[in-house]
Amino acid sequence: MAGLLERFRRFDTSRVPSPCFVVDEAALEQNLRLLAGVQQSSGAKILLALKAFSMFSLAPLVSRYLSGTCASGLHEARLGREEFGGEVHTFSAAFTRDDLLQILAISDHVVFNSCDQLDRFEPEIRAARAARPGLEIGLRLNPEHSEGAVPLYDPCAPCSRLGVVHSALRESSLEHVSGLHFHTLCEQDFPPLERTVRAFEERFGDLIPRMKWINFGGGHHITRPGYQVDALITLLREFQSRWGVQVYLEPGEAVAYHCGVMVAEVLDLTHNGMSQAILDTSATCHMPDVIEMPYRPVISGAGDPGQYAYTYRLGGRHHRRLVIPRDAACGLTHRFRGHGLLHDGEDHHLQRYQPAVHRDLELRYGCTARGAPFWLRGFQEPVVLKRKRARCKTQRALSLNG
What is the CATH number for 16?
Answer: 2.40.37
160, 162, 163, 166: CA torsion to nearest 10: 10
- State the pLDDT at residue 83: 95
Which residues form the domain of 331?
2-22+257-397
How many structural domains does the chain have? 2
Burial call 6-15: b when 16+ CB within 10 Å, e when fewer: ebbeebebee
Co-location of 347 and 325 in the same domain: yes
Overall average pLDDT of the 364-376 stretch: 38
Residue pLDDT, tens place only, 121-137 = 999 999 999 999 999 99
Three-state DSSP state, 206: coil
Is residue 402 domain-resident?
Answer: no
Co-location of 214 and 330 in the same domain: no
Contact 39, 265 (CB under 8 A): no
Q: Which of 389, 339, 382 is nearest to 364 (CA)?
A: 339
Co-location of 112 and 140 in the same domain: yes
Longest CA–CA span in the chain (Å) reads 69
Answer yes or no: pTM beyond 0.85.
Answer: no
Is residue 216 domain-resident?
Answer: yes
Co-location of 163 and 65 in the same domain: yes
Q: Which of 178, 251, 164, 179 is nearest to 214 (CA)?
A: 179
Answer yes or no: is pLDDT of 295 > 80. Answer: no
* Rounded Cα distance, 390 and 366, in Å: 39
Contacts of 164 (CB under 8 A, 6+ apart): 113, 114, 115, 139, 140, 141, 142
- State the pLDDT at residue 123: 98
Is residue 374 domain-resident?
Answer: yes
Co-location of 371 and 279 in the same domain: yes
Co-location of 281 and 233 in the same domain: no
Last-in-domain residue among 191, 218, 249: 249
Q: Which of 178, 237, 235 is nearest to 207 (CA)?
A: 178
Co-location of 161 and 270 in the same domain: no
